[in-house]
Amino acid sequence: MRMRARPPAVVLALTLALGCSPEGERLPDAAVELLDITGDHCAGLPRSGYAELERVPVSDDWFEVYRVETGVYALYEPFQFQEVISYLVLGDEAALLFDTGMGIGSISGVVDELTALPVTVLNSHTHMDHVGGNAEFSRVLAMDTEFTRERARGRPNRLVRSEVAPSALCRPLPEDVTEDTYHTRSFVVTQYIRDGHVIDLGGRRLEVLAVPGHTPDAIALLDREAGFLWTGDSFYEGPIWLFAPETDLDAYETSMRRLAALSADLTTVFPAHNTPVAAPDGLPRLVEALERVRSGEMAGSVSGPGVEYSFDDFSLLLRAGTR
Ligand SMILES: [Zn+2]
């Protein structure tokens, strides 16, 4: 499988420049967002995984929408290098929007075209590429963590402008977005939730699983009856980013074991980047890979912001000096 990337195209210039302090203090959260995107991430589009999926036409061409299961839409942003995927999940009485993308196109407009049901937002975690459209919605659930509260304040232009620089894009920005004005809007959380929270959409129940690691507020979403698991950034096709200062590898390993333990009962995994449908057996394979990396058995290679450890159909990208 061709592994085209978020990261090989990316150098985290400032993160590297700052390095870790001798006391091992965390890097400023801001550092990881100052991306210097140098590679050609557009050459591999469209990804092959999309050929078999059912495309749903919407009027905002910043997004591509795919019906990946009955009542499950993937809202994909292919023209920005993160290739983030948000999901709209429909029940009989309500809908859940799991992530809101970059905030470049108007995701609420797309959602309005797909459903008339009342929509609640919940984020897989609160990195800027997943909360960009939160401000467009009046009902937002969020994990009850300090990290979440801080991220709900948004991110100013200086921290996120590189996300919309020409080198980060495969087509022009929508007319009302520019490199000088783009920012992550703050949003209001209407309800804080914790591990085990159940969202009842009517005929479909979604369980919130806290899976801290990638960030302190990372979650997965489980539809036990259907065997669907939404993994956010904990698992996706491509290099999995584990180099941010807020990433905790011990917590990540524990969380991935929790998800891998579910894999035998799953039919489909829906990740938050690159390709929207993955096989559940990737979860135990990821745990195995993580064990090999963390035991020192694997050699990695320097890549962009860290060290990359490559496996058959994914890789792990860790901060140099960590495992
Ligand atoms: Zn992400």
CA of 72 to the centre of ligand 1 (A): 19
CA of 169 to the centre of ligand 1 (A): 16
Contact 229, 266 (CB under 8 A): yes
| DSSP assignments along 216-231, one per residue | TT-EEEEETTTTEEEE
CA of 93 to the centre of ligand 1 (A): 29
CA of 236 to the centre of ligand 1 (A): 10
Helix (H, G, I), strand (E, B), or coil: what is residue 64? strand
**β-bridge pairing 10-11 and 36-37:** antiparallel
CA of 66 to the centre of ligand 1 (A): 19
Least confident of 19-23, 28-32, 222-226: 19-23
Helix (H, G, I), strand (E, B), or coil: what is residue 181? coil
Per the listing, tokens 């075209």 go with 113
Residue 41's pLDDT band (boundaries 50, 70, 90)?
Answer: confident
Per the listing, tokens 């990638």 go with 214
CA of 301 to the centre of ligand 1 (A): 22
Residues forming beta bridges with residue 143, ordered by sequence position: 193
CA of 247 to the centre of ligand 1 (A): 12
CA of 129 to the centre of ligand 1 (A): 6
pLDDT in tens, 200-258: 999 999 999 999 999 999 999 999 999 999 999 999 988 899 988 999 999 999 999 99
DSSP 8-state symbol, 51: T
Strands, DSSP E only, in 9-162?
10-11, 36-37, 54-56, 64-69, 72-76, 85-90, 95-98, 119-122, 140-143
pLDDT at 112: 98
Tokens of 200: 């009842």
Longest dimension (CA), the chain: 55
Residue 14 has pLDDT above 70, yes or no: no
pLDDT at 34: 41
Contact 7, 239 (CB under 8 A): yes
User: What's the number of CA atoms in the CB half-sphere (13 Å) around residue 259?
Assistant: 41
pLDDT in tens, 294-316: 999 988 998 877 899 999 888 99
CA of 146 to the centre of ligand 1 (A): 19
Euclidean distance between the first and the last CA atom of the chain, given in angstroms as a whole number = 26
CATH topology of domain 7-318: Metallo-beta-lactamase; Chain A (3.60.15)
CA of 119 to the centre of ligand 1 (A): 22
- In this prediction, residues 169-180 reach a mean pLDDT of 96
- In this prediction, residues 56-73 reach a mean pLDDT of 98
CA of 314 to the centre of ligand 1 (A): 15
CA of 288 to the centre of ligand 1 (A): 22
| DSSP assignments along 291-321, one per residue | HHHHTT-S--EEETTEEEEE-SSEEEEE-TT
CA of 127 to the centre of ligand 1 (A): 6
Residue 90's pLDDT band (boundaries 50, 70, 90)?
Answer: very high
Please state the length of the chain: 323
Tokens of 219: 């979650």
pLDDT at 23: 28
Residue 267's pLDDT band (boundaries 50, 70, 90)?
Answer: very high
CA of 3 to the centre of ligand 1 (A): 17
CA of 158 to the centre of ligand 1 (A): 19
Of 124, 123, 102, 98, nearest to 111 by C-alpha is 98
pLDDT at 151: 98
CA of 6 to the centre of ligand 1 (A): 10
How far apart, in whole angstroms, are the C-alpha atoms of residue 33 and residue 160?
A: 6
**β-bridge pairing 314-318 and 306-310:** antiparallel
pLDDT at 239: 87
Residues forming beta bridges with residue 200, ordered by sequence position: 205
Tell me the domain boundaries of the chain: 7-318
Helices (H), the chain: 13-18, 107-114, 128-131, 146-151, 157-160, 249-260, 282-294
CA of 246 to the centre of ligand 1 (A): 13
CA of 83 to the centre of ligand 1 (A): 9
CA of 60 to the centre of ligand 1 (A): 22
CA of 231 to the centre of ligand 1 (A): 11
Contact 79, 168 (CB under 8 A): no
Residue 18's pLDDT band (boundaries 50, 70, 90)?
Answer: very low
- In this prediction, residues 171-190 reach a mean pLDDT of 97
Residues forming beta bridges with residue 120, ordered by sequence position: 96
CA of 57 to the centre of ligand 1 (A): 24
